[in-house]
A and B are shown apart, each in its own frame.
Chain A
Amino acid sequence: MEIDLSRGSIERVPTNPKDTALYLGGLGTNAKLLWDRVPPEAEPFSPDNLLIFSTGLLGGTPATGANRTIVSTFSPQTLLMAYSMMGGFFAPELKYAGYDKVIIRGNSPELVYLWINDDKVEIRDASHLQGKGALEAAEMIRRELKEPKAQVCAIGLAGENRVYYASIEHSRSSASRGGIGAVMGAKKLKAVAVRGKKDINVARPEEFMTLCNEVLNYIQHRAKNPIKGVPPILAGIGSPQEMAIHDEEWHTTSFAWGNARHRRKGFWTKETAEVWKKTQEKAVERLISCYNCPMKCGAVVSYPALGISKYMMKCYSKLTYVMGAMADDLDFGFRIAGLAQEYGVDGYTAPQVMAFAVELYEDGILTDQDLPGFPSGNEERFFWLLEKIVRREGIGDILANGTYWAARQIGKGAEAYDRNTIKKHEQIPIKLGMLNPIYFLMYSTGEKMNITQIEGQMPQVPFATREEREEFVKDWIQVPDEKFKEFFLNWELRGENAFPHYPPPETACDLVEWQETMHYIDDILGICAGLSSFPIKPPYHIHNLPKFISAATGMDFDKDRLWNTARRIRNLLRAVNARRGLRRSDEKPPEDHWKKRFPDLEKKLLDTYYRFKGWNSEGIPTKETLDGLDLAYVAEDLLKRGILSEDETAAAEEAAEEAKQN
């Protein structure tokens, strides 16, 4: 469905089956639309930018966890393609209403919301919702429509005020990375409400249900068999079980606190563990799930003693504010996260921007003049900053642009405090010792820009003994190829087969391709990464996913065709971003991400990866690569714009020759 908010037009357009065959759905068809329709010069806040709410190819089918809404647009922060996904109940409802996507173009003159009730679609006045919290607005909409079963996603004050890291909130989930909530704000679209009562069909029903049952059985099997040898938070499936598990030793001692600066290696003591356990048990009223999924990755948080109203929390935001503020109490996390959700800000970026501001203040770069009435305690400071940021008041107007832009606007050396962004986007604050070649590549080149949405499937560090490793690979059915088991068996903590020179660049490329490809597939199909690309030994994998697609659509998919489709979409995304200026120089992790860096090795890793992908030395897919993926029209455009040149293929081969000689 196409909505033009400038003209107020609504148009139902059938999905093009040719595009479905090549790009399937979700992220794939979103990327195609953005390539085709948004000129690279278009500013993210301009009416020319599209905001696409998409279901995945399997969205709303009985496939467990096929509930993700894939929101795509161009980011005001990175200026590149932003795509963020949310779980919950929205995408299936949209599909039951009869739509694969809602494509929004134009900017409305007044604040509006969209009401999709099966075939009836209205653009409605939202002036009475201005300034309302995201979840508050959703509830008001359900009430005024008298549709308690409508699913709503909405922006809060941050989105309305175009904060560069504003989120779109829905129920217990949010699409928060890349500032897509700010684009929604620029379009003056407060919310989208949807109610659907139609059927979703699959092509080969019995076969499809058999596959679903296998997945449900495997989920039960994994529940009884947690992975040994990894922290509890990584042993199960689903998103990391932050709401159920209180043992936070791994996060609190391995991740950086404050402005991605401090490690607190001794933080997790027996006393802390006890206090945090109590807090969590008090706060969590019930563990909850998304649509059609037995996992319970979220929770209803109810903590009357803290004077906060009930809200739903997912996974890691419980810790991001706590660690950003160097707070010792988990209480603080539960208190501020609820408020931040109503305002609609990204739970990763917001606390890092606040920590950045606190550090600038402590080092005298920001002064009392910039921060009049700034409280003395860190927790109060975070609340203070949150209020300023979501209103773009005073210093908040600058901080609302994220660390990268704020640092440059503030100047006076503030740039040096922008220590944890890649491509202008805040990363998870991890600062480690030894360069990890796999993560180096994922951080540098991932289009998704959020490591948890690139990594997965593998233990993050090698197991200590050969016996443990042999035990681990025994039932590792998820690997696309036996060579991954070989790698894992030989991977050691120390010595020759350890970081940074093991795995060698070629193997590192293979490992990165596997990990990111699985995420691409999830985002195309609308399946939650928590059941698929993220955890170790997940129920969905490269061997059963093609069967799901075949049974659902009737198109014949096997492992190779699916892998190739993911490659096509991966390259299309890269081209979308290359056309907007992404180049090799942007592809680097923060300087202090690892203490021990190896510039020559890193260069070699990136060269090898680009070659492996069929990209030129600037990281742009060559004509040959694009032509081979049915993307000749993309190559043609890149050539016409001078982003690629005719001899580009030669350049890649030259590099290959050079590598051989070395």
Chain B
Amino acid sequence: MGEKKKKIIKTIKIDADKCNGCRACEVACSAFHATPKYSSNNPARSRIRVIHEPLKDMFVPVYAGEYTAAECMGRDKYVLDGKEYDECALCRASCPSRDLFKEPDSGLPLKCDMCESDPTLTEPLCVQWCITDALVYEEREEEVEEEEEQEDLEIGLEALADKYGMEKLIETVARLSVAKKE
């Protein structure tokens, strides 16, 4: 158990009623996370996706959350205001059951990191680019149990281990490191 610690909680308030479905958030997100920064954009790599079904009046930005190795036992369907959302549409997980929130070429999971960077942004880029104010950034202070954050590298490795098996992963890393030394 970690100690109690003050922590800034970063929140994006999503006002789906204000969303006009333009997907600028997807553009901004994928550009910010490109290497080098802003050198490319590709909504398929974005860590935010807009559920965009204009004729069903569905306009909901959803952020990529935790990677999960296993799919849920069942599937969620939400009906809100008489509108039935697709299976698992509102779920944030990068999950084996679907393509969403995965790098299109490697299949590695994507997760919103609130645009953590150095220098830090005043607010995540998707929020800055959403001038219709469907996305609004808020910070508040909370006392939380301290916990090690899982780093990007670890999340990626874990996903690879799940996909190919730990043994194969270790073998490959070993082989690669030998090859690099040579």
**Chain A residues near B (Cβ < 8 Å):** 60-62, 64, 89, 96, 148, 171-172, 196-202, 205-206, 208-209, 213, 216, 219-220, 285-294, 296, 300, 302, 310-312
Using A96-B44, A208-B38, A285-B57 as known contacts, list a sample of 14 further A-B pairs with CB atoms less than 8 Å apart, ordered by residue number in A. A96-B43, A196-B44, A200-B40, A200-B42, A202-B38, A202-B40, A205-B34, A205-B39, A206-B38, A289-B21, A290-B22, A292-B27, A294-B20, A311-B55
**Chain B residues near A (Cβ < 8 Å):** 20-24, 27-28, 31, 34, 36-45, 54-55, 57, 59, 86, 104, 128-132
CB neighbours (8 Å) of B34 from chain A are 199, 205
Interface residue from A64, A201, A286, A287 paired with B24 (Cβ < 8 Å): A64
- Say whether, besides A292-B24, A312-B55, A216 and B40 are in contact (CB < 8 Å): no
Q: List 14 A-B contacts (CB under 8 A).
A: A62-B41, A148-B86, A197-B42, A199-B34, A199-B40, A200-B41, A202-B39, A286-B57, A289-B22, A292-B27, A293-B24, A300-B55, A302-B57, A311-B55
CB neighbours (8 Å) of A292 from chain B are 22-24, 27
B42 touches A289 (CB 8 A): no
B42 touches A62 (CB 8 A): no
> How close is B53's CB to chain A, nearest CB, in angstroms?
8
Cα separation A205 to B45 with both chains bound (whole Å):
17
CB neighbours (8 Å) of A61 from chain B are 41
Identity of the chain B residue whose Cβ is nearest the Cβ of A195 in the assembled complex: B44
- Say whether, besides A61-B41, A197-B42, A294 and B24 are in contact (CB < 8 Å): yes
Identity of the chain B residue whose Cβ is nearest the Cβ of A293 in the assembled complex: B22
Cα separation A220 to B34 with both chains bound (whole Å):
27
B31 touches A288 (CB 8 A): no
B41 touches A216 (CB 8 A): no
A294 touches B131 (CB 8 A): yes
A197 touches B44 (CB 8 A): yes
A172 touches B44 (CB 8 A): no
- Say whether, besides A62-B41, A202-B40, A216-B129, A197 and B55 are in contact (CB < 8 Å): no
Cα separation A547 to B107 with both chains bound (whole Å):
36
Cα separation A486 to B130 with both chains bound (whole Å):
38
Interface of A is mostly: loop
What is the number of contacts between chain A and chain B, taking CB atoms within 8 Å? 88
Interface residue from B28, B45, B55, B57 paired with A62 (Cβ < 8 Å): B28
Cα separation A573 to B39 with both chains bound (whole Å):
34
> How close is B47's CB to chain A, nearest CB, in angstroms?
15
Identity of the chain A residue whose Cβ is nearest the Cβ of B104 in the assembled complex: A197
Identity of the chain B residue whose Cβ is nearest the Cβ of A205 in the assembled complex: B38
A287 touches B41 (CB 8 A): no
CB neighbours (8 Å) of A96 from chain B are 42-44
Cα separation A655 to B9 with both chains bound (whole Å):
75
Interface residue from A205, A206, A293, A310 paired with B55 (Cβ < 8 Å): A310
Closest 5 CB pairs of A and B: A205-B38, A197-B44, A199-B40, A289-B22, A289-B20
CB neighbours (8 Å) of A216 from chain B are 129, 131
Cα separation A283 to B73 with both chains bound (whole Å):
42
Cα separation A311 to B56 with both chains bound (whole Å):
10
Cα separation A219 to B43 with both chains bound (whole Å):
23
A201 touches B55 (CB 8 A): no
A209 touches B38 (CB 8 A): yes
Cα separation A54 to B45 with both chains bound (whole Å):
24
Cα separation A362 to B103 with both chains bound (whole Å):
64
CB neighbours (8 Å) of A302 from chain B are 57
